[in-house]
Amino acid sequence: MSCTRPQDGSRIWQTVDALHVDVRGLPPPEPMIEILRLIDSGEAQSALIAHLDREPIFLYPELDDRGWSHEIIPSTCDADCSDEVLLRIVRWSA
């Protein structure tokens, strides 16, 4: 999974895999707030890839309560984002 943001600098973009949100550089709790906003608003319909600076341990119970699963996935990017955490968030099947 690449960590490259769109050239226009957007924090949110769509790929064939999922909606992506880059919340790196935001102070806590803004990354969690932005991720939950995308889920609660319906913008992230079935899958969301969050690009984070650190593992969002306080986000996990919120995702569970909303019916979304989560897993950390490997990042295949260059040295400029080697510390990035990629989190795949997927809606549970009904």
Burial of 9 (0-12, 13-18, 19+ CB in 10 A): exposed
- Type and span of the H or E element at 70: strand 68-73
Q: Which pTM value belongs to this model?
A: 0.86
Sign of CA dihedral 79, 85, 36, 33: negative
Cα separation, 7 vs 26, whole angstroms? 19
Residue 62 covered by a domain: yes
Of 26, 57, 27, 59, the C-alpha closest to 48 is 59
Q: Which amino acid is at 33?
A: I
**Total domain count for the chain?**
1
Each of the 94 residues of the chain gets a pLDDT tens digit; together they read: 455 566 777 999 999 999 999 999 999 999 999 999 999 999 999 999 999 999 999 999 999 999 999 999 987 765 555 689 999 999 997 5
pLDDT in tens, 73-84: 987 765 555 689
Show the tokens assigned to 3. Answer: 């960590």
Sign of CA dihedral 31, 35, 36, 40: positive
Residue 51 covered by a domain: yes
Domain span at 71: 13-26+40-78
Residue 33 covered by a domain: no
